[in-house]
Amino acid sequence: MDIFFIAHLQQQPPITYPGQVNLDIRISKSDWVEKILPNLKYKEVSLIEVPKIENPEFSVVAKIDDAWKMYSMGEYGKVLTECRKALEAFVTILKEKGLQKEIIEKEGKKWYQIEKR
């Protein structure tokens, strides 16, 4: 953070000193989102933390990251596409792990249920 200031000494004759201070400070993400941005009248934002998993099986997280990137660039149609891809990847993982089963009702209505283990 660079702070520029001008000091006026009230003496005879008055003296003016320009100055600058460089501060190296860290602001936590939660303070930035919850305190500083609202005081700057920035648009309403939320901080969502998703753990990064280094297993290629969990490409879901990468798709969600891509959706956030598209959102920040104003590509709103692509946001929905990336979210859909994340859901599809998640469903694929559930099917491969045998955690999703198909339920067919008497009327022929079909839906899926996630099994708890």
Model confidence at 44: pLDDT above 80: no
Neighbours of 30 (CB within 10 A): 10
Number of H helices, E strands in the chain: 4, 4
pTM greater than 0.85 (yes/no):
no
3-state secondary structure (DSSP) of residue 37 = helix
Distance CA(2)–CA(18), nearest Å, equals 13
Which pLDDT belongs to residue 79?
Answer: 92
75, two tokens: 């590509």
48, two tokens: 């969502």
pLDDT, tens digit (0-9, with 9 covering 90-100), for 48-103: 776 666 666 667 878 888 898 999 899 998 999 999 988 888 888 777 777 767 77
User: Pick from 81, 59, 79: which is nearest to 69 by CA?
Assistant: 79
